[in-house]
Structures are given as structure tokens and as C-alpha cells.
Amino acid sequence: MVLDRFQDNAWATAVAKKIDLVFSENPSLQDHRKVFPWVTGFLGNPKSAIIFLGENPSLPTMKRASASPDMKSPEMQWNVSKGDKIFREALIKANLKEGTLDSPGGWACYITNIVKMAVKPKEWNEKSKDDRVAICKMFAPVLQEEIDAIKPKMIAVMGERTEALFNSTLDFGALNIPEGTRVRRIWHYAFFNRGGLTGDNRETYFGTIAAVAAKYRQLGND
């Protein structure tokens, strides 16, 4: 089922309220939404049962996007960097998004971050693993609400570090996933921003997303 532009409905409001609570209960966290309100940290179709899970929004990327009025939209969150665009292209090829790279809506998947706070990658990378996990635990109630509502059959975790943070949050008991949910690690699309943009890597990535989509659809029929 495709649910176009869900960001305008009650779902987005409910998730935003959960994020509000995290920031209000943890004043040490910097709420980027005061400057970049369109950066929600989630996008897509909550009626689907496949989640693509990233680490966190990139503050420099959002600053770059803010220079263009057309980019100031929740729909554009994953449409700024080279990696974003390859990710969207892969979703289209796998029939997890209808339309074009730039068209709004048409989502047949759900995309979210374990941390709903935009960060500077250098500063985030300099934090200890324990500090990063602590922040993941702060935001875990938001991701838990998303998971509880979506009841995903598949979670595609993007990148080794995202997987490590996700697993640590699970191990601490701050997060639970439904029994039977498949979890698969895939490349993080940011790989293509860091020198990974070759023809072979693109095709490998497209194949990986297609395989995840095929397995997800198979699970729906099991």
C-alpha cells in the first residue's frame, strides 16, 4: 500500500510529540528543529512493514539544503547528498517508491533514524561509543513507538555503526522488536559520499536493496 505524503497527517504529529518529549526531558540535547523544522528524522509510509534504519540526520547536509526553498520539506530529507539520491533511486528500482527521485510521496517503505537529532558528523564520531549509545537510549521511545505501530516484517539497518548502536540499544532493553522481524544490515548510503561512488558499487547496492525488497515481500506471503 502506498500512502502519499503521510507527513501531513496525524502520524507525523504523533511521532513529533514523542520527539518533543525526548528533547524536553534531556535538555543537554540540541533540538535542531528550531532552525530546521522540516528535518523530522523520519519519512515514508507507516502502513508498510519494512523500515530502513539510519543513524541520525546530518547537520551540515541540512544546512546545505536550507539554501534552497524547495528543499525545506520533510520529503526532501533524503534527497540532498549523492548518497541520498542513490538511495532513493535504489528504492524506486525496487518498487519501494513510486515516481521520480524528486517527486513527493509514493512511498512503499518507511525510513527513520535511531537518533532523531541532527549532528555534525565529526563531533558525533568523536563521542565515545558509550555516549552514542546513551543518546540512542534517550531516543529509543520514539523508535519503539514507530516499531510498535508499524510492526515491521523487515528492518534494513544501514551501516555497521548503525547496526552496533541498534544492537546495543536492544541489549540494554531500551528497545524491543516483534518476534519474527527480520533484521538485515546493508550499506549506508553515505558510503557513496565518501569515495564509494563507482559503477560496480552502485550496481551492488541496487542489487542489495532489490534483494531486501524481495525478501520483505516473501515474508508478507509466508
CATH number, position 169: 3.40.470.10
pLDDT of residue 57: 94
Rounded to two decimals, the pTM is 0.93
CA separation for the pair 20, 16 (Å, rounded): 6
Domain containing residue 145: 6-221
In total, how many domains does the chain have? Answer: 1
Residue 216: inside a domain: yes
Residue 97: inside a domain: yes
pLDDT of residue 4: 43
pLDDT of residue 98: 94
Residue 137: inside a domain: yes
Residue 140: inside a domain: yes
Helix (H) or strand (E) holding 111: strand 110-113
Residue 1: inside a domain: no
Q: What is the pLDDT of residues 81-134, one digit of tens each?
A: 999 999 999 999 999 999 999 898 899 999 999 999 999 999 999 999 999 999
List the chain residues with pLDDT less than 50. 1-7
DSSP category for residue 130: H
pLDDT of residue 222: 52
- Nearest residue to 50 via CA among 158, 153, 174, 195: 153
The answer to whether the beta carbons of residues 127 and 121 sit under 8 Å apart is no
The answer to whether the beta carbons of residues 189 and 87 sit under 8 Å apart is yes
pLDDT of residue 195: 83
